[in-house]
Structure 1
């Protein structure tokens, strides 16, 4: 799975991506809406290996996002099968994480829209979900820009997050293939 946008390449992970992605995953601000919070270099390496296995098994996955102008790894984004913590599965989810220097430049919207287009046109998916903690307003805003919608009756507690943690309450977003071109 490889996707090209005007400014970005979404591609399988390479060895050279581990160090910059580990820096992003070690930033408490980047990971403030994730549980567990920051990741070690080894945990990042394991995450990337898991992404590669998922891509090999399913033909889609969470990919490295590279900026065309300078080859910088700016983050990760893609599709994956959602875990059992999401009610009503199985689902294919879209997700992203970008290093802080690349925030607020439209990269996440550009890459996400291209990824959804790939989900409809190449993978033939009927629906993609997204989910995040209720307090993650930046990701929720991006899901809205993509045309994803939530239904309060589908909100859920993420059982992988301890009770009492403010990241436990989650909001589920959906987008159907008929709404496949949300930002053109």
Structure 2
């Protein structure tokens, strides 16, 4: 899976991505809406290996996002299959995590828009979902800018997050392939 935009390249992970992505995954601000909150270098390497397996098995996945002009790793973004733990699943979801130095530059919108276009045209997907903790206002705004919509009846509790944790209530967003 290789997608290029004006400023970005979405591509399979490489060994050189582990360190920079681990830095992002150990940043409390970057990980404030994720559980578990912080990931170690080894946990990040395991995450990347899982993403690589998904890409090989499915032809799409959560991939590295790099800036084209200098090769800097911006973060990770992509499509993946969910399990039955998401209401109405399994689904194809879009997700992202960007390192803090790359926030507020339009990279997430640019990459996610290109990823959805790839899903519609290349993968012929009919629908993509996104989900996040209810308190994750930045990701919710991005989903809405992408044209994704939520239905309160589809909100759910993420059972991987302990009861009482503010990250447990989740919101589900959907977008259908444009006609």
TM-score range, shorter chain: over 0.9
Question: Could you say which residue in structure 1 is the equivalent of 2:32?
Answer: 32
Q: TM-score with structure 2 length normalisation?
A: 0.99
Consecutive unaligned residues in structure 1, runs of 5 or more = 180-184
Calculate the aligned-residue CA RMSD, in Å: 0.7
Tell me if 1:153 matches 2:161: no
Whether the 8 Å CA contact 1:7–1:69 is kept in 2: the answer is yes
Look up the SS of the partner of 1:80 in the other structure: strand
Q: How many residues align?
A: 179
Please say which of residues 80-89 and 153-162 is displaced more in the overlay: 80-89
Q: Structure 1 residue 137 and structure 2 residue 118: aligned?
A: no
Distance 2:70 2:124 in 1: 32
In 1, the alpha carbon distance for the partners of 2:49 and 2:145 equals 30
Residues 98-144 of structure 1: CA deviation (Å, up to 9, x unaligned): 00000000000000000000000000000000000000000000000
Runs (4+) off by over 4 Å: none
Matches of 1:71 and 1:89 in 2, distance apart? 36
Quote the Cα distance in structure 2 between the aligned partners of 1:51 and 1:175: 23
Question: Counterparts in 2 of 1:1-184, with a 5 A limit?
Answer: 1-178=1-178
Unaligned runs of 5+ in 2: none
